[in-house]
Structure 1
């Protein structure tokens, strides 16, 4: 039996339903009659597309982290910064 061809928007909706379901990916696919391999391929494809669609930082932009340190020291709170460098690489900085 041939499986139906789904559009990108349909895969996005299915992945959102899976995330909200609380089920494991294989269990969700079995429940919905979706091929697990196809589901994984689309999940990866859409995850990569999200990264590609993020706006790029303006070259030469400078962020003064000294202001974060001074402002939060009084409150006893730290800060946590995550820089997404692409291809799944992240640089994490934190204080406190």
Structure 2
């Protein structure tokens, strides 16, 4: 018997939408990180933005609030449709355990 494909472990559901909203605003990850740092998220640099957008880093609620503000989007728009989130639950749970 063959091995089952390895499930993708990820730690947030908002990364893709953050990347899309950032690109729509014409911001590079570096410029976005600079705006976030000015807004008070001192520890969030370009590498952190990349990890969030690739869903390998968790996002704190206060970070998400500031991210939405900087991107000038409603916070709800950073979440995928509920069905997509529900489909991702096993991978999210596994991502948090690793």
Q: Decide: shared fold, TM above 0.5.
A: no
* Higher share in helix: 2
More strand by share: 1
The structure with the larger Rg is 1
Q: Which has the higher contact order (CA 8 A, sep 6+)?
A: 2
Report the TM-score when normalising by structure 1.
0.31
